[in-house]
């Protein structure tokens, strides 16, 4: 190999390394962490996590990720007013009030969360306003009223690989006056005191799911529902 060829190869390798490294740095810059051993005076890094879920939400950049490092109590509540993701890593989260999503343009992802109402909290996730909400690989259980309550209008709601069980009223309810587009795939709504899923207006698709042991499997009023490979 000539010196010129060797130099060109080195430049190519350096360019490839830079292309891989830059996105990783940007991803780290937009990720924050919370832990039951953290402090809200920390800078919310992996080495120095914050304490409450609300503080973690507040300091996470728009479009970024908030990661939960362990199970436990994370404060009074959490209100989300921007696009972001909360990644639970399978940990159980306890709050005094619901997680509330309230921003008309927000795209919010809740992934790998276990939300427990302990029989005392009214709702698990309340979507007052949003563009789209994705609930993925999560468990929502033992809330006084609804596991998921979506009074928002013009909302796209996606529920994937999740379990909503043992809630006092409905597992999931859409109650907005506008058009709600709901997609449920490979999920279970079981042993809820009202309907497994209760729908009002909008368009819904329920695929590969189970609605069992509820007072009613599915309740739908004034809406279009497509059901495929589902037991109710």
Contacts 24+ apart (CB under 8 A), 225-232: 225/199, 230/206, 232/196
CB 202 within 8 A of CB 186: no
pTM above 0.85, yes or no: yes
Q: What is the pLDDT of residue 100?
A: 98
- Domains, the chain: 70-228 (2.160.20)
Say which residue, 128 or 19, is predicted with more confidence. 128
pLDDT exceeds cutoff 90 at 13 = no
Q: How confident is the model at residue 175 (pLDDT cuts 50, 70, 90)?
A: confident
């Amino acid at each position: 190999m000539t010196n010129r060829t060797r130099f060109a190869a080195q430049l190519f390798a350096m360019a490839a390394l830079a292309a891989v490294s830059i996105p990783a740095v940007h991803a780290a810059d937009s990720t924050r962490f919370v832990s039951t051993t953290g402090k809200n005076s920390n800078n919310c890094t992996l080495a120095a996590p914050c304490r409450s879920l609300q503080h973690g939400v507040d300091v996470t950049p728009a479009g970024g990720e908030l990661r939960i490092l362990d199970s436990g109590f994370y404060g009074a509540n959490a209100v989300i007013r921007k696009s972001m993701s909360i990644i639970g890593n399978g940990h159980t989260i306890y709050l005094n009030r619901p997680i509330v999503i309230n921003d008309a343009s927000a795209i919010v992802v809740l992934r790998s969360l276990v939300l427990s109402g302990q029989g005392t909290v009214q709702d698990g996730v309340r979507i007052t306003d949003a563009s789209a909400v994705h609930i993925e690989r999560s468990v929502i259980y033992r809330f006084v009223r609804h596991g998921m309550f979506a009074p928002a209008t013009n909302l796209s709601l996606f529920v994937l690989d999740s379990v909503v069980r043992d809630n006092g009223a409905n597992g999931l309810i859409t109650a907005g006056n506008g058009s709600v587009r709901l997609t449920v795939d490979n999920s279970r709504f079981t042993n809820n005191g009202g309907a497994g899923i209760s729908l009002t207006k909008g368009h819904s698709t329920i695929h590969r799911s189970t609605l069992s042991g509820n007072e009613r499997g599915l309740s739908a009023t004034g809406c279009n529902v497509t059901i495929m490979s589902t037991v109710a």
